[in-house]
Amino acid sequence: MEVVDKNKLSAIVKPLINQLPRTVSGIERHEKIGQIVDDQPENVRLQLREIVDGYLKFMAKNEASDIDLGGPGCGGKVWYRIYGEKKPAEGDEQYNLTETDFLLHNLIMPQQRKMLFQNRNLDFSYSIDEYSENAQRFRADMYLDLASLALNMRRIDNTIRPFKGLHLHPEVAKALSLQYYKYGMSLVTGITGSGKSSTLDTIIDANNRTVDSHIIIIASPVELIHTPVRSIIRHREVGRDVPSFKDGAIQALRQDPDIIMIGELRDPETIMTALEITDSGHKTFSTLHTSSAIESIERILGEVPVAEQNRVRNRLADVLTCVISQKLVKSLDGKRALAKEVLMTTPSVKAAIRNNNIGEIYQMLMEGSAMGMHTMEQDLKRLYEEGKISKEEALNNANNKKRLKDLLSYVNS
């Protein structure tokens, strides 16, 4: 995978390294690197960015979703994830840690660097060819790996998948539309890299094209930029436009919204705020890092103090509309197929949540096809029967492997 001339970085960075005192270490060393980078003329900084941009442009050509570089963990190489597999770029040349530290510090602004030092982690968005028709955005996460800078960037697909491509039951589609459900919370859940953001973007786009409304997106960072069609769409990035998810959600209530999308329910405060703003009569979307609908409900309840759980259980039963838990499964054509579990909060599901009988919901999922519900195992079985994934891959991705084996045995009997 030849991308750019790796020797180019060494030539640019060598005079900068000479300015770095040998006695500094840790955060003090990174502060000094940041100062040196910030003091460079524009042409030097542009050359450093062009090196990173070269690797990023290579991603689109090879359909890579992610790139990793920097830190001891990369072994001096640039790594790509292509169709789910992480591999280093070909070639024997390697970057040393100081070279990648300078390269990565050049990507961020002084204020972002302060946040990086404070949190030892920085989420931000990055763009190449930003003001052209070929603009490409990336979701970036910069962090420390044994005191050296490391970076992951995920390529944001500029193409929004059509809503029909989600293959949702009409009742589920209605639940996700402001046209039919004026309020309520819908969750898209899954592990990192399961396509949650892409699914949410598809849902937001469908509302944007069909309903006259005001949509507020609070994300960390903002990924795909939606162009207003029938709706006003505000994009508010945590750390740049708003201090936190919680603050963004509270402020949104004063901005006359119809739909509020909270990028992630990552802490108890954000969860409680999301429940409150939904309960106040708004349509809310968000994500959770969970692998099933039941686990999503348990995670929300488990994140709040014990004394608050009864109140939160009743409120969640009132506001929860739909949960889509998804995975991207390796398909037989070498790409990936979307497998998903879908829960609609029918009266029976609401009662199970209120009465703390969460374990009963799995059976409701299995028997709820009339409302568009199904388990992950039922959807994996569907993909296998359609010849899209192998039996082994279906079993590897099942939340309940015994149940999937039973389903497959019943089919083959």
Whole-number Å distance between alpha carbons of 338 and 166: 8
Domain count of the fold of the chain: 2
**What would the pLDDT profile of 171-211 be if each residue is shown by its tens digit?**
999 999 999 999 999 999 999 889 899 999 999 999 999 99
Return the SS3 of 63: coil
Shared domain for 15 and 104, answered yes or no, is yes
Identify the band that residue 167 occupies on the pLDDT scale cut at 50, 70 and 90: very high
404 part of a folded domain: no
Shared domain for 253 and 190, answered yes or no, is yes
Identify each DSSP E strand in 146-274 by its residue range: 148-155, 184-189, 213-219, 231-237, 259-262
410 part of a folded domain: no
**pLDDT value at position 2?**
47
Shared domain for 211 and 351, answered yes or no, is yes
Q: Which domain holds residue 55?
A: 7-155
Shared domain for 134 and 260, answered yes or no, is no
**pLDDT value at position 239?**
80
CB count within 10 Å of CB 198 equals 21
Of residues 192 and 347, more confidently modeled? 347
Residue 131 has pLDDT above 80, yes or no: no
Whole-number Å distance between alpha carbons of 159 and 207: 16
268 phi/psi in degrees, rounded to 5: -55, -40
Whole-number Å distance between alpha carbons of 142 and 286: 23
Residue 368 has pLDDT above 90, yes or no: yes
Whole-number Å distance between alpha carbons of 140 and 115: 14
**What would the pLDDT profile of 79-112 be if each residue is shown by its tens digit?**
999 988 899 987 766 899 999 999 999 999 998 9
Residue 307 has pLDDT above 50, yes or no: yes
Identify the band that residue 166 occupies on the pLDDT scale cut at 50, 70 and 90: very high
395 phi/psi in degrees, rounded to 5: -65, -40
11 part of a folded domain: yes
CB count within 10 Å of CB 375 equals 28
Shared domain for 173 and 81, answered yes or no, is no
409 part of a folded domain: no
Shared domain for 238 and 272, answered yes or no, is yes
Identify the band that residue 413 occupies on the pLDDT scale cut at 50, 70 and 90: very low
Shared domain for 174 and 151, answered yes or no, is no
Shared domain for 17 and 80, answered yes or no, is yes
394 part of a folded domain: no
- pLDDT > 90: percent of the chain: 78
16 part of a folded domain: yes
Shared domain for 302 and 240, answered yes or no, is yes
Shared domain for 150 and 202, answered yes or no, is no
Shared domain for 151 and 167, answered yes or no, is no
